[in-house]
Amino acid sequence: MRLPELAAALNMPASDLPDVEVRGVTHNAAWVEPGFAFVAICGARFDGHTFIPDAAAKGAVAVLGEGLAGDAPSPLPYLTVPNARAALADAAAALAGNPSRSLRVVGVTGTDGKTTTSWLTRHLLRTAGLRTGLLSTVGYELPDGELRHFPAHFTTPEAPQVQATLREMVEAGGEAVVLEASSHALALDRVRGVDWDVAVWTHLSQEHLDFHGTVENYFADKRRLVERAPFAVLNVDDPWTAQLRGLAPQETTYSAENQHADWRATGIEERATGLHFHVTSPLGEFGAHLPMIGRFNVANALAGMAAAAHLGATLPQLVDGLASFRGVPGRMELVPGGEADPRVIVDFAHTPPSLEKALTTLRATTAGRLWVLLGSAGGPRDPGKRAPLGEVATRLADYAVFTEEDHRDTPLEDILREMERGAREGGGENFTSIGDRREAIRFVIREAQPGDTVLLAGKGPEDTLERDTEVIPWNEVEEARAALALRA
């Protein structure tokens, strides 16, 4: 795309701009390649304008920003835009050829349940015959079904990476995509250039207040997805849903508890083979089987079915799709063991509500003792949830092991002390703290007995562990396998 064409796509004046080729766009000077446009974003810590010389030295051909300070000249053509982050997203979409317009796009947001619902919806759409891709916190898949991960320096996909991935899906013959939309992605316009077809709302609870400030701000940022989609799938069991009704031109509702929803479940049973329940829906009534642990996954299944049905999935396809779903890596994932081993589950639960759900679920299906291992993230990331995590763990499990979980630059001792305080204030003394996560996993799996259940919470499918300034490779399932092998 030529620079004047890009300016026109952004509704900016194109006169007096050099007719140069623009090959890409980024807001990080370190990622600039020859022919890129550089977006100078004024953030909380840095002003992107200070990196314009670096971008120019790496071959940038233009700068987009909200205005140069004073009389400081730019060595590159400068386009003044109303909002730099919005311009980054719009430019990325334009340069990628607006790939989402060639796809049926399902967006999923909420605090808990996003990832499971995203993976389940992707599976249901594939069962219905649509070549479907996936973009989630676990990774991304093209329609070929192979799970991929972004390079390490793209720890959170920005708008250019989102658009490039969508373009890759189109070129691979994709017809649909399910995109997990986090509050950060919505607030920072990382998914601004996406044309949504369906918005799925799972559930809202307190999280990321270090970024959003208040729960109300957190809700407002997530609400953007529903506001931008022509069709919404809403969870009527969530109190926040009342404020979402009517925002989308069309909507449907689901519930695992409320019998006034459009998609609703009754007769829920947890068996050795998974969840069995009866569904009443706009497509008719039917019996459903989902081979997963946890009654809360019934709601995720209803949401996925409602979204897939809107895109054309039939009732038989939904029934077959549910029964053949094999879960999500790191979400209530069972680690294979022997008859003399405890049952070991790896799950991403890292908030007090999600941990409570996981432990309550496992308690109902555990013959012996219930153990839990968990930590809490460091830095400014919701320090207020550390004590509640300790309280929930010791109240609902027979024994808790507190350990590290990406403590970053926060002293691990401070995090463990807060979790211990929450446990004690809740009346719990059934815990120990082991700072090294590998040692902690080996301890809890060694101490547990056959018939017991061990929940390894917090890391789930993440492939790194952030310890102080060090980022080390990590695989929770493999760590659990190694610990089980040591029992032998």
Which residues line the annotated binding site? 110-116, 155-156, 182, 190
Query: How far apart (Å, rounded) are the C-alpha atoms in residues 112 and 367?
Result: 27
- Assign 487 to helix, strand or coil: helix
- Are the beta carbons of 244 and 223 closer than 8 angstroms? yes
Binding site listing for ATP: 110-116
Place of tokens 């706009």: 282
Residues 6+ apart with CB under 8 A from 88: 25, 26, 27, 39, 41, 64, 158, 159, 160, 189
Place of tokens 């980054």: 88
Looking at the DSSP bridge assignments, the partners of residue 42 are 47
- CA 428 from centroid of its chain's CA atoms: 32
- Assign 111 to helix, strand or coil: coil
Q: Which of 364, 367, 429, 356 is nearest to 394 (CA)?
A: 429
Q: How many angstroms separate the Cα of 215 from the Cα of each of 45, 110, 357?
A: 24, 12, 20
Q: Which of 337, 292, 332, 347 is nearest to 450 (CA)?
A: 337
**Long-range contacts made by residues 266-269, C-beta under 8 angstroms, separation at least 24?**
268/295, 268/298
Enter the DSSP assignment of 336: P
- Are the beta carbons of 49 and 69 closer than 8 angstroms? yes
- Are the beta carbons of 180 and 348 closer than 8 angstroms? no
Residues 6+ apart with CB under 8 A from 176: 103, 104, 105, 106, 125, 130, 131, 132, 133, 311
> Element (H or E) spanning 55, and its range?
helix 52-57
